Structure 1
Amino acid sequence: MNDVYGRDTKDYYLSGRLLQELEKILDYPLTVIEAPSGAGKTTAVREYLKEYIPQSVNEYWYTAIGETPARVWEYIYDAFYPFDSETAEALKYLGTPARETLGDIARLLKSCRCEAPTVLVIDNYQLIQSDIQREIISALSYNGSSNLHIVIITQELDLPAPGSTYNSRILTIGKDTLFFTARGEGKGSGESLSSFISGPTR
């Protein structure tokens, strides 16, 4: 069915396998969704948060568009203000993450306070210029609030394999979960989520 503007208004389709993984977002301090362009990463997260997460869960988004690293991290740290202004200020004082400040970032996040269930999404992470992208993700995963859940959406990072820097506090959702076929999920020709969704993309 189309609306008066000719846009398809059918519901988005999320596979059972993908839903099973997305349901774990609120069980982990940090989730990484890493897959090539066109896999439907952002659409999947937006639709899941809109349709399956309780309205009582706060949701904050930052989407990188190629800004300088200093500006990027200023925006990301600003996202902490609504629930923990003290941690936000301390992170801004540290500035752009560097190898020598990763421990400080992890320490600050370990004491982060978040009174209400909150999902903080960082989209287009691959555009954030850094030679320690995976190490930064690991540091961010040490947030100590059971109410705060960080979601990082990224194209495949051209850096060391995830196992070298990721830890058990991180849920990883990769292309094997996002790519599936109409006959069976995760196997076959490997068509992407975007091949099976319809409706306006936000």
Structure 2
Amino acid sequence: MIKGIIFDLDGTLVRLPIKYDKIFTKLQDLFDTQDEFKPLIQTIIKKANNDSKIIEKAFNIICEEEVIAAKNFKVIDGSIDILNYFKNKNYALCLVTMQCMKAAKIVLDKMQISELFSSIITRDISSERSIQIKKSVDVLSFFPDEVMVVGDRIHDVVSAKQVGCIPILFNKSKIDSFKDCKVISELPQLIKQNFHN
């Protein structure tokens, strides 16, 4: 039986207009390379060779652009309603995001939804999605299979499964092609999911 739901932020609840081209250029300068930074976080960690000062500088570059984007975000249709719906039904809610806390806080404060979450795990706490999910499950004190994870990327699905949670992919373009878990095209479809599996 599902008792808690972990939501991703960017791409699931909101759309952040992050200027990745600017981030990539600044990171190429920092690391003195023309290499691509994709996937972003993993590439930074690899190129920094575990040098925490370089990683911090790189993450600060990203955070600056995320904060700018956070001032111009768009709320995804139904996101606030769906959070309130599940909170009113006494589900515990958590938030995970690969954005920095500074940017996440701007978004959550503008949406007035911070108080809905039992925990908010940002990149500042962990840059590994599976660790973010695990920490959220620990905060909730539920078994992993009592927690649903809603995200817009296949990496969210893989990470949720690694922890033992039930993944839901919120991605219109994967509705017919992705078979590893339930796929929804709109957030209100979450209400129809089986919460008593």
Higher relative contact order (CA closer than 8 Å, sequence separation 6+): 1
Do the two structures share a fold, i.e. TM-score over 0.5? no
Superposition TM-score, scaled by structure 2 size = 0.30
Superposition TM-score, scaled by structure 1 size = 0.30
